[in-house]
Structure 1
Amino acid sequence: MGDLAVSLAAALRDGTSVDELARELRDVLDDESRAEMIARTEVARAQSQASLDTYGRADVRRVEWLTSPGNVCMQCEANADQGPISTRQVFTGGVDSPPQHPNCRCALMPVLDVSFE
């Protein structure tokens, strides 16, 4: 496993912040903007997977793709336009949760099937 993979694995395991991870990756990559992009993307990936795990334990069966305000790419917009899907499905972009691409700012939201009587 290379230095980059080792740094990522350790940071995600230890709950390192995006800023701290970016600083660590700068030493490995010697490229500040690339280090920040990788840090943001991999932390977002870990957060999304943790959310899916939590939703599974809470018996959440459907999720919805939420885009961040502002400039949204066509693929993320298509994922959001798909509406709620089963947690066993993938979105039109071929992923089960954000990030769809590097620097993706989207999030996953549980769809709760509850009725208030």
Structure 2
Amino acid sequence: MIVKEVLNEEFLTLAEVKEMLTQIMEERREESDEEQVYEFRKALSHAEIFAKLSADDAKELVGKLLEFEKMKPVIAVRITDILPQSRDELRSIYAKEKFTLKEEELDAILDAVRQYL
């Protein structure tokens, strides 16, 4: 498939991807008895294994994380997918950024994440 231009781009958490792939699978089962394509099955399996939250909780957590000052959407999604437990794990997510977070900021983010564990 050749893509000529990107019309829309949106960051999705693994939980949202899992929900979308599950819906697609159910729709395809209703339409025909064809077996799912290998890549589709692998993507769904990956999402089922690694998605730790429900899609609604993931969206809610991303929304809360975006309220923080130094939070970008891509980082909020990454934090939601990984659900870091310590400051070091959180620092590794911010490793490529040109700034560092203070201990208070790290703790505030970790507190927000802990509400969903």
Give me the TM-score of the superposition, normalised by structure 2. 0.29
Larger strand percent: 1
Specify the structure having the higher radius of gyration (Cα): 2
Give me the TM-score of the superposition, normalised by structure 1. 0.29
Higher relative contact order (CA 8 A, sep 6+): 2
